Amino acid sequence: MNEDTEAIKPCYPLFRDDDYQQVLSRKRREQEEGVDAAKIDETFEWTTTEEYQQLNFSREALTVDPGKACQPLGAVLCSLGFEKTLPYVHGSQGCVAY
């Protein structure tokens, strides 16, 4: 393969190219299990009800398995939901090794 290294684009303009957008659209369509907007709205509405609040606050104990979750990993996963964000974790080898 003979590619011109001068033609390599930085990531930001590259992601806007039609070819890249088509690849993303295809992956989204074929590989992601999307949820329709109505279901998202329904879930959001339920999580803002008094019933949900009572269920949430009535828990007496919570067990967190550190082998499956940690605060830095949780922060990274939450930040993935924000458009134009790139989560970055800097720290010891422990949790961020996920």
Mean pLDDT split into 10-residue runs, the chain, 98 residues = 70 81 88 85 93 88 68 75 75 57
**In a domain? residue 96:** no
**In a domain? residue 22:** yes
- Check residue 2 and give its pLDDT: 59
Within 8 A by CB and 6+ apart from 72, the residues are 89, 91, 95, 96
**In a domain? residue 23:** yes
Q: Could you give the number of structural domains in the chain?
A: 1
**In a domain? residue 81:** no
Cα–Cα dist 38/34, whole Å: 12
**In a domain? residue 16:** yes
Residue 27 is part of which domain span?
11-57
**In a domain? residue 27:** yes
